[in-house]
Structure 1
């Protein structure tokens, strides 16, 4: 790390110590980069409540909450957690859509010194149970207990979740407790009513204490817990602020899912550190998003490329006043050049950038706000202050010459120091010297800008969400009529990649994509459902005849793309 990086990191670590309050904060203009100190997570709302108590912090549906309101709710939830016996270091899982309750619960966990475990709310079965078991979660917040209660209770009864005690549900539910029930089910209203805000005792977490864990799947398909510290969570939010030049005057559109690393840092941490306003959407709806941009005067619009495409194609696009927006951020996959050209034409006056990040590294690469158009649009940026990047041979770790494709590797204070409860994967993903192996294929230019050219792994990148084929293949193998199955990604102009299921059917069987999707609906997440189905007589094999040739010139994907009879899912109107 260079001297500038070390000095900045040390300064940020100093700023995040207890005692930073409104007297230490400085306002900054939207056209200038962030240059204020970080606020400890436990005191984010308290700090801004003392400075601007009546300012709107969070808008969600018809709820409009000020910083003073949020300070009170977080204190009440903190007291409720402490009254329930939760201690610093305990893990509590959040598997819910974006909501007021999600924001309050997360910040209450940081205030109580607990660790938030993020779980995709559409997960069922092992996708849901593994993160709970891996982290020893003591409680789980969900939108509705109904869809998950039986699965979680069964796992608890069989000894699979010994630490789990309670499910908190945002919707009305019949509360259960007592000797005959393996779990306590409690509504959010009941939970928070038990807290006395004046009794809350915020815990002064150390910089290197863990604040949250996000699980990410690797080449093996086995989820890995990536834990981030309190310092990392605050510091990473300011990387976004520096790149986008955001400040207290900004209004963020919060449609990205907060269980994902992009949404977590960009929306759950950044706006409140800045004293800005966040407009929350539980899930993406294009027409509603356009309405909110106009009516709430959104200025910052971070999304996946797919969402911008949907906006521009929507019937309301030309009818809404979108002139309040001044900056946008794209991530998820590298979009085609014509997408940026179209965005530039249809969102005049907006400054858009691409960036790269991961659960393990946070937002590692950004293009500066005033970078050249070619750099902002067609690379994923350069290393943020304090971080280092290189392109190296994936096996040897030897650094490669500029312009030579190789594995993108990152090191610095924002990179996780370990995978939770998984020393084998920790060792496998780090080279000597602390370089983290990202698994992405990239090139590096003379100015330090990185271009992603592919992936080393076989993961499918569907609309910015990475999907492990082996997870789907295991479930599909149980579908009647499947002899052999192989799941691959195929190019999609909107999503980046589609999920294509290739099947060698049992003799005499005819398989249907709609039936396969219905079969998988209760077994995998909604965004893991296949987009295409291709029936084949046999799979092409690599030399030796064992492994399937997926991406060779005569490989599976090439054969699929040449087929006009593959079934493609069409959403029913």
Structure 2
């Protein structure tokens, strides 16, 4: 499957921005050059999570094991161009699955371990997968059973027990198909700019380009040891760890789920050089210097962070007192990739909240980013370009890492007439001189809960059948740690008592929705704000919730 036009492929190939590297060809190169170097290290709590033993695998072992898995998948019918849903935690088997499906020329569509049958069925309805790979269970969650229940007629396999048994049987007869760096290798999921989750197809070339931009911004070095605390389902882990590690022969140290105590121990014990850490964890380290002093972080070169605005005070402490630079990452599955570094945003105040205006005349920055990425701000309604500071507008971006369009969706509304992706994020041009962007909000109804984008309309739809309610909708409310949480806003039927938050969450849970989408606050209204067409005006609803103050 390819989504890029021949014109785009030709232009980017001739410019040297795209090439012939695939995820599995990078692995093969590392297995040849550094066969005995550690490639993947399981989280220390893997057995507790899954019942499986922890592994430390070299590049040669990862290459051999992923080929064995590819042969087993080929034996059960997975071919080039097939789509495969994958629901696995951050364990070595997930990394092997990425490489195995890449070797087959298949498309991996990874989903969060927290997702339930409701989400799985929704993804499969859009993707039409050939199969799904998962585990029997993880942390007590019956992953295999819920996947089988959600996907009647789709082959669902336990990647450990159902496939490993046949791996050696077919390995000698399996032949790796031809591959093309312009083939789609992943189809991740995002709330995008228009509501319900959408599939984002991206090719090897898109990811390799993204990986290079990330490793350049983060100063990644060949052979470094990288601690990956984010699920390998989206940009943070794929663009921040998987592809940079493949490009530079780095060691991937896996972590799951986020546990500050285990994370800090891994930083020390595994002699980590670089990690992208959640802002809340860095804030805690900055606020508790005694905690920092408990560990030996002498190997650590720098931290990355992002997903929400960072604290300038945190950067000043981590950088000024602890001596570890902080890079602010802003990215998305669609291929957004902006980075505020000590070089392009020297002050902590700037780096915490501002990003360079790349690819804009008279705002050139050092390095390749400004040569390969283009950005622009437009009026969300008219599409007119905004060039003056202080005026909010929608950020648009183009470059070799940006996708071609959502899966089976009309793309006109998410691209400008000249092909720039409309991110849905509102920014202002700022700085003196005005060479930065400040993110000020979103132009669409998306809730950002700790970096995870959630479609409120999806939750609205599930709640509409709740008995005794005349109206119901959800919106975001601010939170100092996660940036936003979810509030359920209800209008009871006249004469009816309002429901409890527990009852609403129970209703949603019964319908298989993921736990992180459950509302954490309930507000009762006489009516919900609507526009002349009867659509909920979520910005007004959010404002009304904010005016009521913090939840009791």
Q: TM-score, normalised by structure 1?
A: 0.82
Match of 1:266 in 2: 240
Deviation at 1:48, TM superposition (A): 1.3
For 1:310 and 1:65, how far apart are their aligned partners in 2? 32
The count of residues paired between Structure 1 and Structure 2 equals 510
Match of 1:367 among 321, 340, 359: 340
The alpha carbon displacement at 1:302 in A equals 0.7
Match among 450, 460, 463 for residue 437 of structure 2: 450
Residues 497-506 or 251-260, more deviating:
497-506
Deviations 1:129-179 (A, max 9, x none): 22223222111111336735565545654xxx6xx3x2222566xxxxxxx
* Superposition map of 1:67-466 within 5 A: 67-144=59-136, 147=142, 152-153=147-148, 156-157=151-152, 164=154, 166-170=155-159, 186=162, 188-196=163-171, 198-218=172-192, 220-309=194-283, 316-344=291-319, 348-361=322-335, 363-374=336-347, 375-383=350-358, 384=369, 385-403=371-389, 404-422=391-409, 424=410, 426-445=411-430, 448-466=435-453
The within-5 A match list for 1:474-489 is: 474-489=461-476
- Give the superposition deviation at 1:50: 1.3
Aligned-pair distance for 1:449?
A: 2.7
Distance in 1 between residues matched to 2:183 and 2:513, nearest whole Å: 33
Report the equivalent of 1:528.
517
From 7, 10, 16, the counterpart of 2:15? 10
Distance, in Å, in 1 between the alignment partners of 2:317 and 2:342 is: 19
Stretches of structure 2 that go unaligned for 5 or more consecutive residues are: 1-10, 45-53, 359-368
Deviation of residue 352 (structure 1)? Answer: 0.9
- Spell out, residue by residue over 1:410-458, the C-alpha distance to the aligned partner (whole angstroms, 9 max, x if none): 1122211122222x2x122112111111111112355643221111012
The corresponding residue for 1:504 is: 491
For the pair 1:560 / 2:549, whether they are aligned, the reply is no
Distance between the aligned counterparts of 1:545 and 1:43, measured in 2? 53
Q: Is the 8 A contact 1:535 1:566 kept in 2?
A: no
In structure 2, C-alpha distance between the alignment counterparts of 1:69 and 1:395, rounded to whole Å: 53
CA contact (8 A) 1:489 1:497 kept: yes
* Structure 1 residues 480 and 497, CA gap change in structure 2 (3 angstroms): same
Q: CA RMSD in A?
A: 2.7
Q: Look up the SS of the partner of 1:380 in the other structure.
A: strand
Contact 2:124 2:151 in 1 (8 A): no
The answer (yes or no) to whether the contact 1:367–1:382 under 8 Å persists in 2 is no
Instruction: Kindly indicate whether the alpha-carbon contact (under 8 Å) linking 2:134 and 2:144 is maintained by their aligned counterparts in 1.
Output: no
CA shift at 1:229, angstroms?
0.8
Q: Where does structure 1 lack aligned partners over 5 or more consecutive residues?
A: 1-5, 18-38, 173-185, 568-573
Q: Could you tell me how far apart the structure 2 residues matched to 1:420 and 1:564 are?
A: 40
- Are the aligned partners of 1:57 and 1:275 in contact in 2 as well (CA < 8 Å)? yes
CA contact (8 A) 2:427 2:439 kept: yes
Q: Deviations over 1:174-203 (max 9, x none)?
A: xxxxxxxxxxxx2x433534442x544333
CA distance in 2 between counterparts of 1:214 and 1:331 reads 19
- TM-score between both structures, scaled by the size of structure 2: 0.85
Structure 1 window deviating more from structure 2 (518-527 vs 322-331): it is 518-527
Return the alpha-carbon distance in structure 2 between the equivalents of residues 356 and 226 of structure 1: 17
Confirm or deny: 8 A CA contact 1:240 1:270 kept in the other structure. yes
